[in-house]
Structure 1
Amino acid sequence: MVRWAEYAIFWQVYPLGFTGAPRVLSDEPDRHRLRRLVDWLDYAVELGCSALLLGPVFLAETHGYDTIDHFRIDPRLGTDEDFDRLIGAARERGVRIVLDGVFNHVSRRFEHTEWFRRRADGTYDVFEGHQHLVALDHENPAVARYVARVLDHWLERGAAGWRLDAAYAVRPEFWRKVLPSVRQRHPEAWFLGEVLHGDYAAYAERSGLDSVTQYELWKAIWSSLNDANFFELAWALKRHAGFLETFVPQTFVGNHDVTRLATCLTDERHFGHALALLMTLGGIPSIYYGDEQAFRGLKEEREGGDDAIRPRFPRDPAELAPFGWPAYRLHQRLIGMRRRDPWLVRAQTSVEHLTNRAVALRAHSAEGEVLTLLNIGDEPYRFPLDTSGFSVIGAPSSEEGPGRPVPGHSWVVLRRPDGPGAASG
């Protein structure tokens, strides 16, 4: 595992939406919109983030996942110089940038049509029925060489790693062929694969990727809160514990492909519960831009159905609506808590107490022990746990404390500085 990534908190940004770029590529001159991100780096750092997970920036027809040329910055966003400026500004602040690479499929305008994968009838294979997204032939050695060149090029230009879009649609052995030579030249580079379902651990092992996306945990978090069914969360945490034995997943409660957390939750009082889980469970957490301001947005399966979850940000943080700043400050507190206990990235979590509406989770390592108590019932709940030696490190108000009932629809995070061995001594 690349060491810097273990301690990273990511702020994920979809740049075409964030900067208000046109939805479709045109002949307009370079617009230098990428520079707007420079003005938001301090905002991300003050939030507590140490890395930027940047959506597609390469020449594409529409949404960025229909790439035309992986070696050229999309003119809707700017130029190579704008990219260099962003990298330099991020480096000055100690922020690493991970790029989004789409290598399963490309635009039909992609130059190397001889690399397109064909069906038995001779027509081009496409990605999940999208006729404008043509699948690459990953059995062709030229494709592997091309992907390695792209990865190398932008790592040389200052990127710290790659998110590999739709990795689940590519046989893991392809990445196993591509990555070793890239890692030899860039040993500190971090590689994240987008995997939706299946055996995450097996895919990570067979591909050689550092991490994959933890969609199972994302779903269990909001679904268990909505359904008042923490048994679903407990089941997902068993799976999560198994993943952590072989790799460190990327964890999230929102990203560019799903309905916003604030919209997804049926009870807005449980927003903090979801965030407390994200910041106390093992994994490498990311915050999707706007979630830290409690943005709302519904993803729809239609043309333009992603627009609501990929909005334009204003030019300056001062232009954000005032009602979003309490959510930002909550993120600050919980991210700060996470960064003070970096061992949580690999922490194993056990379920200490479980009902439909109340759960107690114990994250532990030799370096410490954290209890996360969640109550989504209407009445205060007293957890039957010994909390002597613990202190409050996270709560929505000052009313919560060790040994006290957790108020209805509230939560509290407690910490004991000793390892779990001290608890039984």
Structure 2
Amino acid sequence: MPDWPEHVLWWHLYPLGFVGAPIRDGVDPDAEPEHRLDRLEPWLDHVIELGLNGLLLGPVFAAETHGYDTVDHFRIDPRLGDDADFDRLVAAARERGIRILLDGVFNHVGRGHPAFRDQREDGPQLFRGRWIDGRFEADVFEGHDALVALDHSSPAVADLVVEIMCHWLERGVDGWRLDAAYAVPPTFWAEVLPRVRERFPGAWFLGEVIHGEAAQIVQESSMDSLTQYELWQGIWHGIADGNLFELGHAIERHDELLRVFVPQTFVGNHDVTRIASAVGVDLVPHALAVLFTVAGTPSVYAGDEFGWTAVKEERLGGDDAVRPEFPASPADAEGDARIFEAHRALIALRRRKPWLWRAHTDVVELANTAIVLRTATADDAVVVALNIGDEPVTLPAADARAVVTGDGTLADGRVELGPRGWAVLEA
């Protein structure tokens, strides 16, 4: 694996929503380009101001609706623009030292994909399904009839995915988020990714995996990292439910993965309720303190730094609230200053201590509504003390000597926290 992922911190955004493109009504994958992608460039300095240095993009390829129903992996979605718009974004990011990760949907495509429309019984079999009386009945992804599954046992599919990946890596991106990677046989990735690495040894591959044996999946697939949904659940459930034992357990499980790989960590993304809605605005800094002080490759979901709220719903259009249009520039964005400053302070701490990327975390003190975590190397340590209760608490400082950020007070080897207080300390 390349060494740059040890130092990257991602700003994750969903481009179609960000630029206000239509998602369902009036979408024509073959329309003339509307040059909306340029709306991202004024936000690149915001990424740097936060202390981040990576742009994790949702789907940007031609699709029929939400972007995960791709119809052409080699063409920028005309709702976003064209190749020239994309090249300008890559160049603007490069000027600022910002890495770019693309979202690769390689488990399925939209029914409007030309290869699916032209599928013939005597032609190359790119899709999983069966021929019945001269008609092809495709398998679909998780019951979504519009998403037809690719046949990952087909050499033609492997060749196609290698070609797509290399095309955009040649265009200047740094790696791929592999959408629905859990639905693809690990043997497929084990065949495809080494072929891509032969040409682009600096590329990084992040698999979206929401269940299963993570360490085994990495070993069998050769992916570099996986999305850490178990830690995400432990953070927001532990805080929202007043049961930090769940968080403590999730951190112990998280540490076990480090023997094999470093997970990609988050408290928000384009598929889940925003963290401010999940735990309440007052407790967002508590979630962030965990995110930025335990091992992992962290990402911030665009808008979370402002404390924006939105609830994911299980219905048609249920993602829209967490995938909103953004204003023209950061100066026009309304938000919670306390949450924004918590992001900046914790990201700055992470920048100063890159060893946190793969460091182990000990649970020093644990109760339903209070926890102390210590993440350390031989000669440095970071301590997190959280109180999610309505009464003040005094917790062990675990040898920490100074408060870096938060609202705690350090005295006599203990850290005092007010109701719903938090502090990050260092040795």
Q: TM-score range by the shorter chain?
A: over 0.9
Task: Say yes or no: does 1:244 pair with 2:255.
Answer: no
Q: 1:386 to 1:59 in 2, by over 3 A?
A: closer
How far apart are the structure 2 equivalents of 1:154 and 1:386? Answer: 47
Shift of 1:404: 3.5
Task: Say yes or no: does 1:65 pair with 2:68.
Answer: yes
Which amino acid in the other structure matches residue 143 of structure 1? V
Unaligned stretches of 5+ residues in structure 1: 417-425
SS in 2 for 1:356: coil
Q: Where does residue 154 of structure 1 map in the other structure?
A: 168
Q: Where does residue 6 of structure 2 map in the other structure?
A: 6
Shift of 1:366: 2.8
Q: Where does residue 56 of structure 2 map in the other structure?
A: 53
SS in 2 for 1:178: helix
Q: 1:29 to 1:186 in 2, by over 3 A?
A: same
**What are the superposed Cα offsets for residues 152-183 of structure 1, whole Å, 9 maximum, x if unpaired?**
00000000000000000001110000011110
**What are the superposed Cα offsets for residues 377-422 of structure 1, whole Å, 9 maximum, x if unpaired?**
22221114553x5211121x37566633121201111111xxxxxx
**What are the superposed Cα offsets for residues 165-218 of structure 1, whole Å, 9 maximum, x if unpaired?**
000000111000001111011111100000001111111111000000000000
Task: Say yes or no: does 1:172 pair with 2:172.
Answer: no
Shift of 1:29: 2.3
Which amino acid in the other structure matches residue 343 of structure 1? W
The one of 224, 227, 247 aligned to 1:210: 224
Shift of 1:326: 3.0
Q: 1:385 to 1:13 in 2, by over 3 A?
A: closer
Contact kept? 2:408, 2:423, Cα under 8 Å: no
How far apart are the structure 2 equivalents of 1:404 and 1:116? Answer: 59
Q: Where does residue 328 of structure 1 map in the other structure?
A: 340
Alignment of 1:71-150 (within 5 A): 71-113=74-116, 114=119, 115-119=126-130, 123-150=137-164
SS in 2 for 1:100: strand
Q: Where does residue 198 of structure 1 map in the other structure?
A: 212
Q: 1:80 to 1:368 in 2, by over 3 A?
A: same
Which range moves more in the overlay, 41-50 or 120-129?
A: 120-129
SS in 2 for 1:404: strand
Which amino acid in the other structure matches residue 241 of structure 1? D
Alignment of 1:221-240 (within 5 A): 221-240=235-254
Contact kept? 2:206, 2:227, Cα under 8 Å: yes
SS in 2 for 1:280: coil
Which range moves more in the overlay, 214-223 or 115-124?
A: 115-124
How far apart are the structure 1 equivalents of 2:248 and 2:398? Answer: 21
Q: Where does residue 409 of structure 1 map in the other structure?
A: 420
Which amino acid in the other structure matches residue 272 of structure 1? P
TM normalised by structure 1 equals 0.94
Q: How many pairs align? A: 412
Which range moves more in the overlay, 47-56 or 325-334?
A: 325-334
**What are the superposed Cα offsets for residues 230-269 of structure 1, whole Å, 9 maximum, x if unpaired?**
111111112101111110000000000001111111x432
**What are the superposed Cα offsets for residues 119-146 of structure 1, whole Å, 9 maximum, x if unpaired?**
5865210000000000000000000000
SS in 1 for 2:86: helix
SS in 2 for 1:148: helix
Task: Say yes or no: does 1:286 pair with 2:299.
Answer: yes
Which range moves more in the overlay, 399-408 or 306-315?
A: 399-408
Which amino acid in the other structure matches residue 160 of structure 2? Y
Q: Where does residue 355 of structure 2 map in the other structure?
A: 343
Contact kept? 1:362, 1:369, Cα under 8 Å: yes
Shift of 1:224: 0.5
Which amino acid in the other structure matches residue 297 of structure 1? A
SS in 2 for 1:363: strand
Task: Say yes or no: does 1:312 pair with 2:315.
Answer: no
How far apart are the structure 2 equivalents of 1:52 and 1:249? Answer: 17
What is the RMSD of the two structures over their aligned residues, measured on CA atoms? 1.5
Q: Where does residue 18 of structure 1 map in the other structure?
A: 18
Which amino acid in the other structure matches residue 349 of structure 1? T
Q: Where does residue 378 of structure 1 map in the other structure?
A: 390
Q: Where does residue 40 of structure 1 map in the other structure?
A: 43
How far apart are the structure 1 equivalents of 2:66 and 2:95? Answer: 30
**What are the superposed Cα offsets for residues 13-44 of structure 1, whole Å, 9 maximum, x if unpaired?**
10000000111422642111111111110011
Contact kept? 2:397, 2:410, Cα under 8 Å: no
Identity %: 54
Q: 1:367 to 1:34 in 2, by over 3 A?
A: farther
Which amino acid in the other structure matches residue 117 of structure 1? R
Alignment of 1:253-264 (within 5 A): 253-264=267-278
Which amino acid in the other structure matches residue 11 of structure 2? W
Contact kept? 1:400, 1:406, Cα under 8 Å: no
Q: 1:351 to 1:76 in 2, by over 3 A?
A: same
How far apart are the structure 1 equivalents of 2:410 and 2:89? Answer: 42
TM normalised by structure 2 equals 0.94
Contact kept? 1:5, 1:190, Cα under 8 Å: yes
Shift of 1:2: 2.0
How far apart are the structure 1 equivalents of 2:339 and 2:54? Answer: 20
